[in-house]
Amino acid sequence: MDLPDCNDFFENSQKPDNFDSVRCAVEDFVKKHIDQDRNIVLVTSGGTTVPLESQTVRFIDNFSIGTRGATSAEYFLSSNYAVIFLHRKGSLKPFQRHFQHINFLDILLASGDDVIVQGDQKSRVHSILSQYDHVKSSELLLLVEFTTLGEYLYNLRAAAQILRSAQKRAMLYLAAAVSDFYIPAGQLPKHKIQSSDGALTISLQLVPKMLRPLVSSWVPNAFVTSFKLETDPLLLVPKAKQALKTYKHQVVIGNLLERRKFEVVIVTQDVERWFHLTEVEQKTGVEIESRLIDILTEMHNQFMEPA
């Protein structure tokens, strides 16, 4: 099978409208945190869309809502990393995710000129706000959005290339669910596809695996963690190992669609290490990302030690 070429992908895809301003923001952010000797992680999160029309009415999407990415970003922040959070527009975000299912009208109370938080939510809201205030005042979090596959890959490439200057202090944590198939811009119908034309057959091209240039040329000295998502348990570890062998990066985190919230496997060149949350841990709100980020920050520290 002929592997598709990364340069062809970029030549055949449209740059995001806000590309230059995103690039400037990432450059400023990275420079500031390099000057402060801080580790910087690029966390990708959420799913990419694949447009079926150039004035897009319909698109292909996937299941990811960004829980893994948003949760992990918070644990990186509490480990004092600066975080570039490249996420799908409208998906979960660090800190905000805690309020996703809360109706503020039910927990806030007008009291004179003030607004107060009622009942048992108060200490939780206080703790999240305190963490968020620290992150905001220290400018530790940069949010960058994407919707389409093209926007994601353009921003990923730019951010990775900028992170090159952070050398080994840079980590990439590629948790976004990225489409493997797309329609090149030049082959997209301009207008809405008409149902009066009958049943629709769509032909999708393979998206090149961006891990290859990312590891070998965009950000060659960084610590790179990719993810492997499977639905068949028998494929998970072999495919994770295969990815390490092919792209020669540091870590693959494997997860199965149905078990991803409470079971992951960390695969490196030497080790395969499983993490499970017990039922009690799941019920008491332990998040598997806390374990993952502990181990990854430790591995990153070892990676940064002089040889």
User: Is residue 275 a contact partner of residue 292, using CB atoms and an 8 Å limit?
Assistant: yes
Q: How many whole angstroms separate alpha carbon 80 and alpha carbon 89? A: 25
User: Is residue 264 a contact partner of residue 253, using CB atoms and an 8 Å limit?
Assistant: yes
Q: Does 155 bind ligand PMT (CB under 6 A)?
A: no
CB half-sphere exposure, 51, CA atoms < 13 A: 22
The one among 13, 67, 155, 297 contacting ligand PMT by CB under 6 A: 67
Q: Does 72 bind ligand PMT (CB under 6 A)?
A: no
Q: Does 255 bind ligand PMT (CB under 6 A)?
A: yes
Q: Does 49 bind ligand PMT (CB under 6 A)?
A: no
Q: Does 174 bind ligand PMT (CB under 6 A)?
A: yes
Q: Does 175 bind ligand PMT (CB under 6 A)?
A: yes
Q: What interhelical angle do 19-35 and 149-163 show, nearest 10?
A: 30
Q: Does 6 bind ligand PMT (CB under 6 A)?
A: no
Task: Give the phi and the psi of residue 75 in degrees, each rounded to 5.
Answer: -70, -35
Q: Which stretch binds ligand PMT (CB under 6 A): 12-20, 159-167, 223-231, 298-306?
A: 223-231
The one among 228, 250, 251, 299 contacting ligand PMT by CB under 6 A: 228
Q: Which stretch binds ligand PMT (CB under 6 A): 139-147, 165-173, 193-201, 202-210?
A: 202-210
The one among 124, 164, 168, 209 contacting ligand PMT by CB under 6 A: 209
Q: Find the shortest distance in angstroms from Cβ 201 to ligand PMT.
A: 23
User: Is residue 92 a contact partner of residue 65, using CB atoms and an 8 Å limit?
Assistant: yes
The one among 178, 251, 266, 293 contacting ligand PMT by CB under 6 A: 178
State the sign of the Cα–Cα–Cα–Cα dihedral 212, 214, 215, 218.
positive
User: Is residue 264 a contact partner of residue 293, using CB atoms and an 8 Å limit?
Assistant: no
Number of residues that bind ligand PMT (CB under 6 A): 21
Q: What interhelical angle do 67-78 and 122-137 show, nearest 10?
A: 70
The one among 132, 260, 268, 275 contacting ligand PMT by CB under 6 A: 260
Q: Which is nearer to ligand PMT, 263 or 281 (CB)?
A: 263
Q: Does 180 bind ligand PMT (CB under 6 A)?
A: yes
By the 10 Å C-beta count (0-12 exposed, 13-18 middle, 19+ buried), 285 is classed as: exposed
Alpha carbon 114 to chain centroid, angstroms: 38
**Contact footprint for ligand PMT (CB under 6 A):** 64-68, 174-178, 180, 207, 209-211, 226-229, 255, 260
